Chain A
Amino acid sequence: MKMYLSVGKLRFVTGLQYRTAAFAGILTQLFFGFVFIMVYVAFYNRSGAQLPMTLQEVVTYIWLQQMFLGLIALYFRDPDIFQLITGGNIAYELCRPCGLYGFWFAKLLATRVSGVVLRCFPLLVAVLLLPNPYGISLPPSITAFLLFLLSLLLGLLIVCAISLLIYISIFWTMSPTGSTLMVATAGEFLAGMILPIPLMPVWMQKLANSLPFRWTVDFPFRVYTGHIAAAEALEGLMIQLFWLALLTGLGLLLINRALRRVVVQGG
Chain B
Amino acid sequence: MGNPIISLEGIGKTFKVAKRAAGVRQAAKALFYRKHTFVEALKDISFTIREGEIAGYIGPNGAGKSTTIKVMCGILVPDEGDCKVMGYTPWKSRTAYVGNIGVVFGQRSQLWWDVPVIDSFELLRDIYKVPDTRYRKNLSMLTETLALADLIHVPVRQLSLGQRMRCEIAASLLHDPRILFLDEPTIGLDAASKIAVRQFIKTIHKEKGITVILTTHDMNDIEALAERILMIGKGSLLYDGSLDELRRRFGSSRTLTVDYRDCLRPVDIPGAVRHSWSPQQAVYTFDSAQISLTGVISQLSEQAEILDVAVDSKSVDELILQLYKEHQI
Interface residues of A (CB under 8 A from B): 2-3, 5-7, 10, 13-14, 17, 88-92, 94-99, 260-264, 266-267
* Cross-chain contact A6 with B123 (CB below 8 angstroms): yes
* Cross-chain contact B76 with A17 (CB below 8 angstroms): no
* Cross-chain contact A97 with B115 (CB below 8 angstroms): no
Nearest residue, chain B, Cβ from A17? B114
* Cross-chain contact B99 with A97 (CB below 8 angstroms): yes
CB-defined contacts of A10 to chain B, threshold 8 Å = 112, 115, 119-120, 123
Interface assignment of B107: CB less than 8 Å from any CB of chain A = yes
Chain B binding site: helix, strand, loop or mixed by DSSP? mixed
CB-defined contacts of B143 to chain A, threshold 8 Å = none
Which bracket fits the contact residues of B? 20 to 34
CB-defined contacts of A90 to chain B, threshold 8 Å = 75
Could you list some 25 contacts between A and B, CB below 8 A? A2-B126, A6-B126, A10-B123, A13-B115, A14-B112, A14-B114, A91-B70, A91-B105, A92-B110, A94-B75, A95-B75, A95-B98, A95-B103, A97-B95, A97-B97, A97-B98, A98-B95, A98-B127, A261-B77, A262-B75, A262-B77, A263-B15, A264-B76, A267-B62, A267-B66
CB-defined contacts of A95 to chain B, threshold 8 Å = 73-75, 98, 101, 103
Interface assignment of B314: CB less than 8 Å from any CB of chain A = no
Question: Which residues of B, 73-127, contact A by the 8 Å Cβ criterion?
Answer: 73-77, 94-99, 101, 103, 105, 107-110, 112, 114-115, 119-120, 122-123, 126-127
Q: Which 10 A-B pairs have the closest CB atoms?
A: A6-B126, A97-B99, A94-B75, A92-B110, A95-B103, A3-B126, A3-B127, A97-B98, A2-B126, A97-B95
* Chain A proximity of B69: nearest CB distance (Å): 9
State the total of A-B contacts with C-beta under 8 angstroms: 78
* Cross-chain contact A14 with B115 (CB below 8 angstroms): yes
* Chain B proximity of A264: nearest CB distance (Å): 6
Complex CA–CA separation, A90 to B70 (angstroms): 11
CB-defined contacts of B120 to chain A, threshold 8 Å = 10
Contact residue among A7, A17, A94 (Cβ-Cβ distance under 8 Å from B123):
A7
Interface assignment of B128: CB less than 8 Å from any CB of chain A = yes
